[in-house]
Amino acid sequence: MAFAPEHDDALIVVDVQRDFCPGGSLAVPDGDQVVPVVNRLAPRFATVVTTHDSHPPDHSSFVEQGGPWPPHCVEGTPGWEPHPDLRVEPDYQVFKGRDRELDGYTGWNPELADFLGKQGVKRVVVVGLALDYCVQATALDASAAGHEVLVLTDATRAVNVQPGDGDRALDALRAAGVREDRAEG
């Protein structure tokens, strides 16, 4: 049986961008496999939010600046664009990582919380890339803000910089009270 959203759920689609998919500068293994699942899922929600990693060229998280990551999702580059097959019409967009000094993993912020409150959202359903970084941070912050949070495991993938990072992320989410399910049966 496929997951069925409630009328007061919001879908948060995290960072399904070219640089996080195969061929991108920080590709998540099988990251593009979330795209068809998200495309089938999004029209079933009354409220859809997308987040976009959106860095300046000299972001502090880049290796050249002493950070851990290769340059990725530099605003205005092809890698910054959504995956070309993603068919999601967001009601709200979050651009994160624009501050050169902040990592920008989480898509959660006060403006998003206010928007979701005005929509009457009770539960947020989080999908996208990467499970062990931005999906996890967004889900944990939404939970800390008092929302019920659900992560759909077949609509996310982990980058797994260290083997098992994705499993550890799921453990941390469970420990924080975040539930998990599958988008499709």
- Give the range among 2-6, 48-52, 72-76, 82-86 with minimum mean pLDDT: 2-6
Question: For the segment 43-61, what is each residue's pLDDT rounded down to a tens digit?
Answer: 999 999 999 999 999 999 9
Hey, what domains does the chain have and what are their CATH numbers? 9-181 (3.40.50.850)
Does residue 13 contact residue 42 with C-beta atoms inside 8 Å? yes
pLDDT at 1: 58
Residues with a catalytic annotation lie at 15, 96, 134
- pLDDT > 80? residue 166: yes
Report d(CA 136, CA 162) in Å as an integer: 15
**In degrees rounded to 5, what are phi and psi of residue 103?**
-60, -45
- To the nearest whole number, what is the mean pLDDT of the chain? 96
- pLDDT > 90? residue 185: no
Question: For the segment 114-132, what is each residue's pLDDT rounded down to a tens digit?
Answer: 999 999 999 999 999 999 9
% of the chain surpassing 70 pLDDT: 99
Report d(CA 87, CA 167) in Å as an integer: 28
Return the half-sphere exposure (C-beta side, CA atoms, 13 A cut-off) of residue 53: 35
Candidates 135, 126, 141; CA nearest to 165 is 135
Question: For the segment 20-44, what is each residue's pLDDT rounded down to a tens digit?
Answer: 999 999 999 999 999 999 999 999 9
